[in-house]
Amino acid sequence: MKYLLILNVLFSMNVMAKELSIKFGTIAPAGTPWSDSLEDIKTRVAKESNNQAKIKIFLGGQLGGELEILQKIRRGNIEGGGLTCAAMASIVPELDLLEVPFLFESSEEADYVLDNYLLEPFTKLFADKGFVMVTWAENGWRSIGHKTKLVKSPTDLKGVKIRSQESKVHLAYWKKVQASPVAIAVPEVLPALQTGVVEAFDNTPLFTLAAEWQTAIKFYTVTNHIYQPGAIIYSKKFWDKISENDRKILMGPGNAQAAGVRSSVRKLGSSLLDVLKESGVNTYVLNASEKAAYQKTSEGLAEQAVKDIGGQAAKIYTLILDGKKAFKAKK
């Protein structure tokens, strides 16, 4: 009888370890490279687990804005998610350093620094705050959309009610150029543009189109002022309850997935600007002197962010600078 009871317990544990239902939250809309990448992960996990681990993806902010999704993951109410680093900085403040305007000079430089210098330290920082890091992801280069005017100079932003992501660095930058930032979650941005709560925003061409924000603007200025990475994460509370084999399946190739995620976003390239034009939006690409004026407005933000953030911010910023230097040296 004793052995039968033990066998029953072991059998139950085995079933629980195999049968996993995983809720995955993101603000990424359907029909985008982000949703396609998540579907790839879903398919791989199902195949490798013999359909015993099933990921259900909630797209387009079905589970709330990014901050709400993030808190749910941390508490273990949902098991995982794909989020921008600006949103995650609300819990892992050091991530806000990656949101400093003009921090990176190219996508290739950003990739090099993130993969070779920041993956390990942020994996540890994530773990300390209740998250398991899987891989870097990408939103891309953010630029500025406006309802009624072309924003060619930082002075054009003075007094503009601009939607800001919920990030201290984003808010600090808009205030530095004398704009009037309003922190609004993604699901609420389009109504805010339509009703005049805000008259401008910044985001990538891909996200602008995916979220249909272009329907509320007439102008889009390619400033490429922030390169914004994202991350795919799991709840540590959930992670600690599952078997080692389940962890291996869910982790998959880890950060080796980043290259595919980035490529799927980047291959769309300038074609997205053509789509914006076709939808009636006037697009403008800053020339060198105009971009330099924007870059000048960001001076001192990184150093100030290091002081404001504290924690391991100084160490992370040093790693960023070391990585940038190494990238230039290898070119």
- How is residue 116 annotated by DSSP? I
What is the distance between the alpha carbons of residues 331 and 326, in angstroms, rounded to a whole number?
A: 9
- Whether pLDDT at 145 is above 80: yes
Question: What local confidence, expressed as pLDDT, does residue 18 receive?
Answer: 59
The beta-carbon contacts of 50-53 under 8 Å, at least 24 apart in sequence, are: 52/18, 52/19, 52/20, 53/18, 53/19, 53/20, 53/22, 53/246, 53/249, 53/250
Rounded CA Rg of the chain: 21
- Whether pLDDT at 3 is above 90: no
List, in sequence order, every residue forming a beta bridge with 34; answer none if it has no partner. none
Instruction: Please compute the mean of the pLDDT values over residues 138-155 and round it to a whole number.
Output: 96
- Whether pLDDT at 331 is above 90: no
Domains contained in the chain, CATH given: 2-330 (3.40.190.170)
Question: What local confidence, expressed as pLDDT, does residue 15 receive?
Answer: 39
CA torsion through residues 88, 93, 94, 96, sign:
positive
Share of the chain above pLDDT 70, in %: 95
What is the distance between the alpha carbons of residues 71 and 67, in angstroms, rounded to a whole number?
A: 6
Q: Model-level pTM?
A: 0.91
279, containing H or E segment: none
Question: What local confidence, expressed as pLDDT, does residue 283 receive?
Answer: 97
Instruction: Please compute the mean of the pLDDT values over residues 186-212 and round it to a whole number.
Output: 96
Instruction: Please compute the mean of the pLDDT values over residues 105-133 and round it to a whole number.
Output: 98
Burial string for 40-72 (b: 16+ CB within 10 Å, else e) reads: ebbebbeeebeeebebebbbbbebbbbbbbbeb
- Whether pLDDT at 197 is above 50: yes
Q: What is the mean pLDDT of the chain?
A: 93
Count how many residues are written for the chain.
331
| Token pair in block for residue 141 | 């280069």
CA torsion through residues 89, 121, 234, 264, sign:
positive
Q: What are phi and psi of 217, to 5 degrees?
A: -130, 160
- Are 135 and 242 in contact by the 8 Å Cβ rule? The answer is no
**3-class SS shares of the chain: helix, strand, coil, % to 5:** 55, 20, 25
